[in-house]
Amino acid sequence: MHILFVADPLEHFKIYKDTTFSMMREAQRRGHTLSACEPRDLGWQRGRPVTARARAITLTGDPDAWFSEDAIQERPLHGFDVVLMRKDPPFDAEYIYATHLLEQAEREGARVVNKPRALRDHPEKLAIMEFSEFTTPTLVTRDAAAVRAFHAEHQDIILKPLDGMGGMGIFRVKADALNLGSIVETLNKNGAETIMVQRFVPEISQGDKRVLVIGGQPVPYSLARIPQGTEVRGNLAAGGKGVAQPLTEQDRKIAEAIGPVLNKRGLLLIGLDVIGGSLTEINVTSPTCFQEITEQTGFDVPAMFIDALEAFLKTA
């Protein structure tokens, strides 16, 4: 099959850990053809299908020059066997516009993973609302007074923007409420933007676990991203240490409850963030950690994903 990856610039990939690269490598190993573009390369004109200015690429095996490419060609998206939307957040207006172009391409016959409408319908922080039985106490608001009341009740809280990634903009406020007002003003821009507040889960010291679910089925290992030093954030981008470990009974319970539901909506790959036994986020845009789990456990996550992708194409 011919796969188009819609992703960030290839030149920026850190291939020693990049999940999209691991997908490409496994797909090429099986004989599939690869192309790549960025969201800015998508376009539509009346009377024509949605197209992409796509680079046909081949992986070289050389870490210093990891791909070669043919000339860039403009091609209709429905001419590829599948389009993988792997653009990293932020989930901003341009990302949303890209999903609308991809949804139009679906109407023209393209097969897109994850499904564009499902990407829009499941913002990564807010998607947990549907599954609140698994979450720590959580507040979504732009009201500073509501945040203060939540803090008064729970004493130790985490505040974060709804559009953050990689641990960006996350604050912890303990019982002394030090700088709470300033933090709220910074995050909600004086009431102009909505934020999320959650009761602090002390088990973060044991890791913020990424539980991957592929085709509705959980990968049997999570990657616990463990904060280092005085840092409260476990995100790898914030310096956390990634340690693969078998799923706990609670991890599996959460994954098996959520995975099939979201898979039916067109989310072939999701990443659940679990701290202790609490669900904190549902990642749908470009879940990661394939390489870390594979290298530490021997379980081939990219192979599981390409298996699911091939099965999807047989039924799509």
Query: Which helix (H) or strand (E) covers residue 112, if one does?
Result: strand 112-113
CA geometry: angle at 115 spanning 114 and 120, to 5°? Answer: 100
Active site residue 264: no
67 and 157 co-located in one domain: no
pLDDT tens figures, 96-131: 999 999 999 999 999 999 999 999 999 999 999 999
Domain-ending residue, one of 151, 184, 200: 200
Q: Which of 25, 86, 115, 233 is catalytic?
A: 233
Task: Give the pTM.
Answer: 0.93
257 and 282 co-located in one domain: yes
Cβ neighbours of residue 17 closer than 8 Å, sequence gap 6 or more: 236, 288, 291, 292
Average pLDDT over residues 171-195: 95
Active site residue 210: yes
In a domain, 143, yes or no: yes
Query: What pLDDT sits at residue 71?
Result: 84
Distance, CA of 180 to CA of 287 (rounded, Å): 31
Domain-ending residue, one of 200, 232, 252: 200
Q: Which of 124, 225, 263, 292 is catalytic?
A: 225
pLDDT tens figures, 140-161: 999 999 999 999 999 999 999 9
Contact 248, 203 (CB under 8 A): no
With the C-alpha atoms ordered 286, 165, 197, 234, is the resulting torsion angle positive or negative?
positive
Mean pLDDT of the chain, nearest integer: 95
Query: What pLDDT sits at residue 73?
Result: 94
Distance, CA of 164 to CA of 75 (rounded, Å): 33
Distance, CA of 271 to CA of 248 (rounded, Å): 16
- Single-letter amino acid, residue 279: L
152 and 189 co-located in one domain: yes
- pLDDT greater at residue 230 or residue 5: 5
73 and 111 co-located in one domain: yes
Query: What pLDDT sits at residue 228?
Result: 79
- Single-letter amino acid, residue 14: K
CATH code for the domain of 86? 3.40.50.20
DSSP H helices, the chain, are: 19-29, 93-107, 116-121, 144-154, 180-188, 249-264, 290-297, 301-315
Average pLDDT over residues 293-312: 98
169 and 181 co-located in one domain: yes
Query: What pLDDT sits at residue 157?
Result: 97
144 and 220 co-located in one domain: no
Active site residue 225: yes
Q: Which of 55, 209, 283, 292 is catalytic?
A: 283
Query: What pLDDT sits at residue 212?
Result: 98
Q: State whether residue 173 is helix, strand or coil.
A: strand
In a domain, 132, yes or no: no
Q: Which of 115, 160, 199, 209 is catalytic?
A: 160
Q: State whether residue 246 is helix, strand or coil.
A: strand
Contact 208, 222 (CB under 8 A): no
143 and 241 co-located in one domain: no
In a domain, 260, yes or no: yes
In a domain, 157, yes or no: yes
Q: Which of 210, 235, 251, 263 is catalytic?
A: 210
Contact 289, 19 (CB under 8 A): yes
263 and 171 co-located in one domain: no
Active site residue 160: yes
What the block records as the tokens of 201 is 């889960």
Q: Which of 18, 26, 251, 281 is catalytic?
A: 281
- pLDDT greater at residue 190 or residue 240: 190
193 and 219 co-located in one domain: no
Q: State whether residue 57 is helix, strand or coil.
A: strand
What the block records as the tokens of 313 is 């194409």
pLDDT tens figures, 207-256: 999 999 999 999 999 999 998 765 665 566 657 789 999 999 999 999 99
CATH code for the domain of 232? 3.30.470.20
In a domain, 128, yes or no: no
CATH code for the domain of 161? 3.30.1490.20
Distance, CA of 39 to CA of 41 (rounded, Å): 5
Domain-ending residue, one of 81, 115, 149: 115
Query: What pLDDT sits at residue 183?
Result: 96
CA geometry: angle at 164 spanning 264 and 239, to 5°? Answer: 105
Task: Identify the burial level of 192 via C-beta atoms within 10 angstroms of its C-beta, where 0-12 means exposed, 13-18 middle and 19 or more buried.
Answer: exposed
226 and 303 co-located in one domain: yes
Q: Which of 25, 55, 115, 125 is catalytic?
A: 125
Domain range enclosing 300: 203-315
- pLDDT over threshold 90, residue 89: no
Q: How many domains does the chain have?
A: 3
172 and 183 co-located in one domain: yes
In a domain, 167, yes or no: yes
Confidence of residue 90 (pLDDT cuts 50, 70, 90): confident
pLDDT tens figures, 261-286: 999 999 999 999 999 999 999 999 99
Cβ neighbours of residue 153 closer than 8 Å, sequence gap 6 or more: none
In a domain, 122, yes or no: no
Query: What pLDDT sits at residue 168?
Result: 81
301 and 209 co-located in one domain: yes
Query: What pLDDT sits at residue 237?
Result: 65
Average pLDDT over residues 87-100: 93
Portion of the chain with pLDDT greater than 70, in percent: 97
In a domain, 21, yes or no: yes
